[in-house]
Structure 1
Amino acid sequence: KKGDAFTVAKIAGINAAKETARLIPLCHTLPIEKVDVQIEEMDSAAEDARFRIESLVRCEGKTGVEMEALTAVSVAALTFYDMCKAIDREMEVVRIRLIEKRGGKSDFLAEPDSKS
């Protein structure tokens, strides 16, 4: 056993956000102030379990931290998959997207979507 999948995936996501500049070429190292990763089950009564993974990253700087947030979610999802693949090999990681960004050159807010 590797431990609790939720906790390990959350820690992996936080670590990944901090290592984004090492993982993605030409991505600058940023003074990250906060990283939070949340994983929640969407509908426990459904036949196919679904989970939402969200990341919040904050930084006082002139650039946005969307790459750090997307990296956190991606690595958390991959870690969750790795820890649960013995239970279900047909799991899918789908729809990784930016929901909101404030600061940097421009702000961004995704349209509300029932698929999120």
Structure 2
Amino acid sequence: MSSLTHLTSHGEAVMVDVSDKAETERVAIAEARVVMRMETLELALSGNAEKGDVVATARIAGIMAAKKTHELIPLCHPLLLTKVGVDLEPDPSLPGFRVQALAKVKGQTGVEMEALTAVSVACLTLYDMLKAVDRFMRIEGIGLLEKQGGKSGSWKREKE
């Protein structure tokens, strides 16, 4: 196991110096699920939720969150993101939504935290907008699916 790069030899937290790293295209994809009652899923898809268009709002919230990751998570570098996408797919078998976020940058550090932040906030937004009708919703399975670029190359989670 490699050492933690955000800690000095004395255990002090620091922002990693990436100035010597090569600028490469980097991509990360994260996923999560919001599980809810079938009636709640149907309400979200109908567009008649009291708070408005649940899916569109969650998508925009996820994109905005990715852009603010460095303000939310200490020691994250501010990045000039070149793409952020958030997809919310209804899944009656849950029932609920499967949410994926993609973040892309040409830079000196990865975008995993931006993808994870986007997917997390999109799920939290779904929860917030629907909680009045379904207090039993839950957010599950937040995780990184894959990353590309940088010194460590590509990585993809194996299917469970």
- TM-score when normalising by structure 2: 0.66
Aligned residues: 110
1:108 equivalenced with 2:108 (yes/no): no
> Once the 2 structures are TM-superposed, how far is the Cα of residue 3 of structure 1 from its aligned partner?
1.6
More strand, by proportion: 2
* Residues in 1 aligned to 2:151 and 2:79: alpha-carbon distance in whole angstroms: 15
* Residues in 2 aligned to 1:21 and 1:30: alpha-carbon distance in whole angstroms: 8
1:75 equivalenced with 2:121 (yes/no): yes
| Counterpart amino acid of residue 108 in structure 1 | W
**121, 141, 144: which is aligned to 1:95?**
141
Give runs of aligned pairs for residues 29-108 of structure 1, distance below 5 A.
29-43=78-92, 46=93, 49-106=95-152, 107-108=154-155
* Higher RCO (CA-CA < 8 Å; seq separation 6+): 2
Bigger Rg, structure 1 or 2: 2
> Once the 2 structures are TM-superposed, how far is the Cα of residue 49 of structure 1 from its aligned partner?
1.6
* Residues in 1 aligned to 2:123 and 2:61: alpha-carbon distance in whole angstroms: 9
Contact 1:63 / 1:105 at 8 angstroms: preserved in 2?
Answer: no
Deviations along 1:39-83, one digit per CA (max 9) or x if unpaired, are 01112xx4x522100001110012110000000000000000000
* Residues in 1 aligned to 2:115 and 2:57: alpha-carbon distance in whole angstroms: 17
User: Where in structure 1 do 4 or more consecutive aligned residues deviate above 3 Å?
Assistant: none
1:60 aligned counterpart, secondary structure: strand
Deviations along 1:66-110, one digit per CA (max 9) or x if unpaired, are 000000000000000000111210000011000010012322100
- TM-score when normalising by structure 1: 0.90
* Residues in 1 aligned to 2:95 and 2:132: alpha-carbon distance in whole angstroms: 15
Q: Which runs of 5+ in 1 are unaligned?
A: none
Contact 1:17 / 1:68 at 8 angstroms: preserved in 2?
Answer: yes
Give runs of aligned pairs for residues 5-44 of structure 1, distance below 5 A.
5-43=54-92
